[in-house]
Amino acid sequence: MSDPVVLVEKEAGVAIVTLNRPDSMNAISSELSESLYRTFLELQADEEVRCAVVTGAGRAFCAGMDLKELGAGGSETRGDKIGNPIDGAMRAFEGPIIAAVNGYAVTAGFELALACDVIVASTQAVFADTHARVGILPGWGLGVRLPRLIGSVRAKSVSLTGNPIPADQAERWGLVSSVVEPDELMPTCRALAEDMISCDPKILKGYKRLIDECIAMPFDEALAHENAVATASAREISADTIAQRRKGIQARNRDRSSD
């Protein structure tokens, strides 16, 4: 019996989701696509899971679509493969998703990383968009998300050439939040996840949703939306609650300063 193509480890509110096709550099096959889709639906249904970390087994995060599988079938077109149920399931997951990019994140693998809320990269990470070289257009969000993160000029320099972005350059461009040594990648991501889930559970989900909503709006509309959401939220919080949370923040700051 073959190993599962997605491994899930849950501990203390954090789910580690590992793409497990190391011999194929975690290329997205139909089986892997379906498994990732179902995994995130199940994580959303699990009330104990509040944050997810996505990574890859072996030397790659994800090498993109399984071109060997896509190349089968003769003259049949690939239009039926453009839909991305994984992205929909990830967007439906209300908690933060951290991409722990351990190696190559290429094309659809790049899109998978971009679908996460925060990207942390190993020094061995490499990002690349080879859509133009394969001869297809992106349909999983690369043409939408990458220009918003690094600007249209830089995005075009990457996507219209297929040239790679090494980890240090990705950090300079603001594509990743930090770059760490390979053996520090998962501990760093776990610590980040633990910091996130130590926040108020309802606000954690609401803040992620607010950021995503505001990014999609014109500036003035986003400001008004943020104010309306904040006002509604504030009406649910008493002064006593704020006072208690203030004490918690002060205690946490003292603990961190003493480390």
**Inside any domain, residue 211:** no
**Inside any domain, residue 245:** yes
* Same-domain status, 221 and 190: no
CA nearest 165: which of 97, 96, 113?
113
Domain count, the chain: 2
* Same-domain status, 106 and 222: no
* Same-domain status, 114 and 242: no
* Same-domain status, 191 and 65: yes
- What does the pLDDT read at residue 151? 97
Can you tell me the distance from the alpha carbon of 122 to that of 180, in angstroms, rounded to the nearest whole number?
5
Residues 6+ apart with CB under 8 A from 131: 107, 137, 138, 142, 159
**Inside any domain, residue 97:** yes
- What does the pLDDT read at residue 234? 83
- What does the pLDDT read at residue 233? 86
* Same-domain status, 161 and 241: no
Residues 6+ apart with CB under 8 A from 16: 7, 8, 9, 10, 52, 53, 55, 186, 190
- What does the pLDDT read at residue 63? 96
* Same-domain status, 58 and 14: yes
Structural domain boundaries enclosing 138: 6-197
With a cut of 70, list the residues of the chain below it in pLDDT. Answer: 1, 70-83, 238-259
* Same-domain status, 41 and 157: yes
Residue 115, SS3 per DSSP? coil
- What does the pLDDT read at residue 207? 96
